[in-house]
Amino acid sequence: MTWETVIGLEIHVQLSAESKIFSPASTVFCNAANTQVREVDCGFPGALPVLNRRVVDCAILLGTAISATVNQRSEFARKNYFYPDLPKGYQISQFEYPIVEHGEMWINGSQGEMRIGVTRAHLEEDAGKLIHDHWATSSGVDLNRAGTPLLEIVSEPDLRDINDAVLYASEMHKLVRWLGICDGNMQEGSFRIDANISVRHPGDELGTRCEIKNLNSFRFLEQALHYERERQINLIEDGGTVVQQTRLFNTASGETRAMRSKEDAHDYRYFPDPDLPPLLVDDAWIAEVIATMPELPRARAQRFINDYQLSSYDATLLTADKDFSDYYETLLAQLATDSEQRNQHAKLCANWLCGDFAALLNEHKIEISASKIDIAAFADLMRCLINDTISGKIAKTVLLKMWDSGEHASIIIEREGLMQISDSSALEKIGNDIIAANAQQAQQYRDGKDRLLGFFVGQMMKATKGQANPEQANEIMKRLLAQ
């Protein structure tokens, strides 16, 4: 009997804002404990929350990007429970009336272009952190993170395939970074995933779901979903039933274990926060935010395909990251002002960015913005290739040197004498020497062993340390051997 997996994801996105959602305290990660705490963040008597407008802008951006409704009236509620990292004894969140509802994400998944519904996205504050390993008999509380703004994005249970679920999460990750509303740093917890998963036979009612909390990498998400899927199927096939539970994923063992079941779930006693009036977002506010909205990755990829005749593969690579994509666009703009010329260079630049340059970025694990090679330097390298100053092979060497120094390509080429040799008389002299030194092979070529041409061209490249213009080398050797 076949099993169908049903998955829905809740993604907690830490919003990029300089100050907290309800206080002027800074949100910078990893400062000394309890140094980024104002009256509200510590839950002092009489302290009151004031909403940071920036977080609303972030929600509007996301809502618009996923074609959702941005509610003109939403409401903050209190989620009440006791825990030492929760200074007020309640978390301010949106419950009955979230700011964003009825959105959609498109992914290129197991069924081709797939629409994944987004039920809602709501604003809320993060809790603080407990520190357990400093003292033998007590724990500490660090409230630096308390009040950090979060946007919780809840998908419909539309996902049927674990790979699609991972793809949806990574597309969302890409989108929030693209919009500039989240730094996407998963290690620091800026993007955390709770996965709801159940199994059923196709056509049956939904099975009982379990929620796996706090997954902070796509690999863990994938592992946790696989483990949980197998666990539920085995349980049912062995005659058991799945109990609705919240589960934790153990990254060391790759297993999930029960944290709490529905029976001991908290009664959060939600009610509208009387300290915060309803959040009213008018058309003017929405329009103001949309005016700052960047071209979205899918639209840009399509434009690359249409205008630059790039392959869908290249277009996707070049829109995986906004900085990377912007780098590409600026690079093209620096190379040519008219669009025809720009389109001519589009493929070359795409190859070099997605190929050698991307490999270097990956190898050193740095963002494009942190690379020493600025766009002008890279454009210089592309120009040297376009006007045949160097060959592609030399360009690879030059790029490596640029990576270390950040110098423009032409400076390195000039200093190290890496210019391509296009002087045909010089190349002809080298060619004649090579033929003289390899008379036997020359005879074999003339007797019809055509593939030996490659050997001779290779010898010429070797003799010129790769600086011979490859096309010219090819042409000259062919001509000399025929004599």
Partner 1 sequence: MSAPNIANCSLRELRTLLDENKISAPELAQLFRARAKQYSHLNAFLRINENDDYHPAAGNFLDSLPIAHKDIFCAQGEKTTCGSKMLAEFVAPYDSTVVENFRNAGMNTIGRTNMDEFAMGSSGEHSAFSASRNPWDENYVPGGSSSGSAAAVAARLTPVATATDTGGSIRQPAAFCGVTGIKPTYGRVSRWGMVAFASSFDQGGVIAKSAEDCALALSAMAGFDERDSTSLPQPAEDFTRQFDQPLSNIVIGVPKEFFSDGLDNKVASRVQEAIRQFEKQGATIKEISLASVKHAIAAYYVLTCAEASSNLSRYDGVRYGFRPTENNDSDLTTMYEQTRTQGFGAEVKRRILIGTYMLSYGYYDAYYRRAMKVRTLIARDFEQAFTGCDVLLGPTTPSPAFALNAIADNDPVAMYLQDIYTVPVNLAGLPALSLPCGFSGALPVGLQLIGAPLAESLLLSVAHEYQKQNDYHLQMPAGVQ
Residue ranges binding partner 1 (CB under 8 A): 39, 42-51, 78, 80, 82, 84, 87-90, 137, 141, 267, 269-271, 274-277
What is the rounded CA–CA span in Å between residue 115 and residue 135? 50
401 contact partners, CB below 8 Å, separation of at least 6: 407, 412, 416
Supply the minimum distance, in Å, between the C-beta of residue 317 and partner 1. Answer: 46
Please say which residue, 262 or 372, places its beta carbon nearer to partner 1.
262
Pairing of strands 100-109, 140-142: unpaired
What is the rounded CA–CA span in Å between residue 198 and residue 368? 39
Supply the minimum distance, in Å, between the C-beta of residue 13 and partner 1. Answer: 24
| DSSP-assigned letter for residue 154 | E
Closest CA to 380 of 330, 331, 324, 327: 331
**Are 110 and 165 contacting, i.e. CB atoms less than 8 angstroms apart?**
no
384 contact partners, CB below 8 Å, separation of at least 6: 390, 395, 398, 409, 410, 413
Task: Give residue for tokens 């979205």.
Answer: 296
371 contact partners, CB below 8 Å, separation of at least 6: 360, 361, 403
What is the rounded CA–CA span in Å between residue 191 and residue 169? 10
Burial of residue 125 (number of CB atoms within 10 Å: 0-12, 13-18, 19+): buried
**Are 398 and 390 contacting, i.e. CB atoms less than 8 angstroms apart?**
yes
Identity of the amino acid at 71: N
Please say which residue, 21 or 477, places its beta carbon nearer to partner 1.
21
